[in-house]
């Protein structure tokens, strides 16, 4: 099953190499096409890290606390006369 991060890992080299090649064929110099391709790849990495960042899976089902599992309440200290 492919997920978001699988697509991100595929897009990084695709944009770096593909966009560089497209810009080079379109007439841009190689010294211009490589930084543009790297910049777009960097934006994809930035989006994957900071906008749609990885999160740890959480438990959505919480068990109710019952008297059997509850912590015992502390015993009161007797007052001195």
65: pLDDT strictly greater than 80: no
Q: Residue 54 burial (CB < 10 Å; 0-12/13-18/19+)?
A: exposed
67: pLDDT strictly greater than 90: no
In the chain, pLDDT over 90 holds for what percent of residues? 56
7: pLDDT strictly greater than 90: yes
The whole-number pLDDT of residue 41 equals 96
For the ranges 8-17, 52-61, 62-71, the lowest mean pLDDT is seen at 62-71
**Higher-confidence residue: 34 or 3?**
34
The whole-number pLDDT of residue 63 equals 64
Tell me if 23 sits within 8 A of 40, measured CB to CB.
Answer: no
């Amino acid at each position: 099953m492919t997920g978001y991060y699988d697509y991100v890992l595929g897009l990084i080299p695709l944009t770096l190499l593909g966009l560089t090649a497209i810009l080079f064929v379109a007439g841009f110099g190689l010294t211009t096409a490589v930084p543009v391709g790297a910049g777009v790849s960097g934006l994809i990495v930035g989006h994957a890290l900071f906008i749609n960042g990885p999160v740890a899976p959480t438990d959505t089902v919480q068990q109710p606390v019952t008297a059997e599992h509850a912590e015992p309440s502390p015993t009161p200290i007797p007052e001195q006369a």
